[in-house]
């Protein structure tokens, strides 16, 4: 749930015997892996299971896919495959913003809640995929001081950096929750950008009536 990587296994497919350089176009490559679950995280649920393909020489990640979650008791873990969500929780109904690339609407931001629970600030929000996306956009949460300085940020793929936008299906809802440490006299904002390693261009953010948001960042109000 924290979004931190608990464990991983890096290897060529087929226990090193099926490198991608030998794959044939259109042919499926079956792979089997055994990954031990770290003892220190056996009580943390759910655990997201991701697959990444990257260039060994450069480290460039070419594909990321959220496979699903591990749930249940430590001695009876169950794998739940990733499935699109087609319904929107009633408390998150409505429309807050739309994120665009040029003239194409990519992501709709529905309702959200910002609630302080003890010493934690809990943010729950819902996104909707409006069109197929090839790029993986980074979602950001920024905490700003009263004078506009950046005090804290959480940037990554939605669902604790586990669900890239290129995997989203048109019409599905992605509901996620962020937990931050509260501060006094702060402002919250969110949005999306493309992590191109250089300029980090943001998607254009507009209100339901088409009014653009300053800096392409949508302000979040506390309840």
pLDDT in tens, 92-143: 999 999 999 999 999 999 999 998 888 888 899 999 999 999 999 999 999 8
Considering the domain architecture, whether residues 77 and 99 belong to the same structural domain is answered as no
**pTM for this entry:** 0.88
Q: How far apart are CA 45 and CA 144, in angstroms?
A: 31
Does a structural domain hold residue 150? yes
Distance of CA 9 to the CA centre of its chain: 21
Does a structural domain hold residue 4? no
Q: Given 81, 100, 124, which residue is the final one in a domain?
A: 81
Instruction: Please state, as a whole number, how many other Cβ atoms lie within 10 Å of the Cβ of residue 161.
Output: 20
Q: Of the segments 13-22, 23-32, 167-176, which one has the largest average pLDDT value?
A: 167-176
Considering the domain architecture, whether residues 154 and 209 belong to the same structural domain is answered as yes
Does a structural domain hold residue 114? yes
Q: What was the pLDDT predicted at 204?
A: 98
Give me the chain's average pLDDT, please: 89
Q: Given 47, 81, 115, which residue is the final one in a domain?
A: 81
Considering the domain architecture, whether residues 119 and 174 belong to the same structural domain is answered as yes
Considering the domain architecture, whether residues 133 and 209 belong to the same structural domain is answered as yes
Q: Given 63, 81, 99, which residue is the final one in a domain?
A: 81
Q: What was the pLDDT predicted at 153?
A: 87
Considering the domain architecture, whether residues 41 and 101 belong to the same structural domain is answered as no
Considering the domain architecture, whether residues 30 and 125 belong to the same structural domain is answered as no
Considering the domain architecture, whether residues 172 and 198 belong to the same structural domain is answered as yes
Q: What was the pLDDT predicted at 43?
A: 60
Range of the domain at 73: 20-81
Q: What was the pLDDT predicted at 190?
A: 96
Considering the domain architecture, whether residues 61 and 125 belong to the same structural domain is answered as no
Task: Assign residue 106 a region (left: φ > 0; alpha: ψ between -120 and 50; beta: otherwise).
Answer: alpha
Q: What was the pLDDT predicted at 77?
A: 79
Considering the domain architecture, whether residues 102 and 57 belong to the same structural domain is answered as no
Q: How far apart are CA 90 and CA 83, in angstroms?
A: 20
Considering the domain architecture, whether residues 209 and 113 belong to the same structural domain is answered as yes
HEC profile for 135-199?
A: CCEEEEEEEEECCCCEEEEEEECHHHHCCCHHHCCCCCEEEEEEEECCCCCEEEEEEEEECCCCC
Considering the domain architecture, whether residues 156 and 139 belong to the same structural domain is answered as yes
Considering the domain architecture, whether residues 57 and 110 belong to the same structural domain is answered as no
pLDDT band (50, 70, 90) for residue 2: low
Higher-pLDDT residue of 77, 205: 205
Higher-pLDDT residue of 14, 101: 101
Higher-pLDDT residue of 173, 196: 173
Q: How far apart are CA 30 and CA 221, in angstroms?
A: 47
- Check whether 193 has a pLDDT greater than 60: yes
**What are the Cα distances from residue 196, in Å, to 136, 144, 154?**
10, 24, 17
Q: Provide the number of structural domains found in the chain.
A: 2
Does a structural domain hold residue 7? no
């Amino acid at each position: 749930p924290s979004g931190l990587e608990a464990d991983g296994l890096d290897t060529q497919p087929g226990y090193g015997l099926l490198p991608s350089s030998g794959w044939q176009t259109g042919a499926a490559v079956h792979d089997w892996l055994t990954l031990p679950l770290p003892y220190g995280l056996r009580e943390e649920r759910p655990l997201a299971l991701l697959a990444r393909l990257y260039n060994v020489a450069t480290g460039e990640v070419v594909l990321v896919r959220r496979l699903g979650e591990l749930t249940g008791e430590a001695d009876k873990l169950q794998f739940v495959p990733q499935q699109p969500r087609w319904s929107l929780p009633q408390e998150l109904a409505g429309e807050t913003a739309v994120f665009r690339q040029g003239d194409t609407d990519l992501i709709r931001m529905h309702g959200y809640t910002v609630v302080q629970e003890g010493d934690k600030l809990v943010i729950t929000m819902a996104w909707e995929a409006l069109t197929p996306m090839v790029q993986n956009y980074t979602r950001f949460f920024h905490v700003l001081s009263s004078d506009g300085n950046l005090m804290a940020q959480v940037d990554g793929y939605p669902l604790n950096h586990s669900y890239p936008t290129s995997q989203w299906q048109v019409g599905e809802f992605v509901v996620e929750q962020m937990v931050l440490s509260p501060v006094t006299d702060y402002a919250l904002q969110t949005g999306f950008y493309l992590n191109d390693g250089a300029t980090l261009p943001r998607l254009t953010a507009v209100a339901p009536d088409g009014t653009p948001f300053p800096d392409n960042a949508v302000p979040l109000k506390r309840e």
